[in-house]
Amino acid sequence: MTLLQGQSGSANEKDKDTLANDKGCHSKTYFCDICGKTFANTRCLRLHEKIHTGKKEFVCQECGKTFYRREHLIVHVRTHSGEKPYHCEICGKAFSQSQNLTIHKRSHSGEKPYQCGLCGKLFNTSSHLKTHMRYHSGEKPYPCDICGKRFSQSGVNASNGETIHMGDNKV
């Protein structure tokens, strides 16, 4: 763990971590010595470091799948139970994860908080913006399993296989 921005390892570090936790893991203060990724506090850094050790200590009792974080196990267990504790107060649709409800609510409000810095187009999720940025960069990281043609979005290659390769007998 490395401290940035004049932080010290003093007794006040715990108080700083508590304050940083209120802001989440997005204020950059600490960085991983292995990959350089930055974090707001030591808690977030320690959670991240588990990725490098490969230690997944949280195990699903239903299927045996393992996770780095307890929160991820809880969400996963809902795939077995079908539990969807987050409900839209507008239309009643239910979700297993709170962030999916947040994104869904934007379909009602029309909110699009993510903007392309190149063309100004707005998006309701950061992942949609990331996919859009590939349009500008020309990046196509997803190859078709049949012909090798590359696509900017995963899933597009699945429709490529269903439409272009019909009757190829390669499927």
Which tens digits make up the pLDDT trace of 10-65?
Answer: 333 333 333 334 445 555 689 899 999 999 999 989 888 888 988 899 999 999 99
Q: Find all residues with CB under 8 Å of 22, minimum gap 6, and list them.
A: none
pLDDT at 16 (0 to 100): 37
Q: List the chain domain ranges.
A: 2-53
Res 109: pLDDT: 98
At residue 7, does pLDDT exceed 50?
A: no
pTM over 0.85: no
Partners of 95 in beta bridges: 86
Are the beta carbons of 152 and 134 closer than 8 angstroms? yes
Q: Are 57 and 46 in contact (CB under 8 A)?
A: no
State the Cα–Cα distance between residues 135 and 139, nearest whole angstrom.
7
Q: Helices in the chain by DSSP H: which ranges?
A: 13-23, 42-53, 70-81, 98-109, 126-137, 156-163
Mean pLDDT of 56-75: 94
What pLDDT does residue 154 have?
A: 83
Distances in Å between the alpha carbon of 105 and those of 78, 138, 170? 21, 31, 42
- Do 41 and 30 contact (CB within 8 A), yes or no? yes
Average pLDDT on 128-143 reads 94
The predicted structure's pLDDT at residue 28? 64
Written as six digits, the tokens of 80 are 């077995």
Is residue 106 within 8 Å of residue 129, measured between CB atoms?
no
- pLDDT score at 170: 44
pLDDT tens column, 95-133: 999 999 999 999 999 999 999 999 999 999 999 999 999
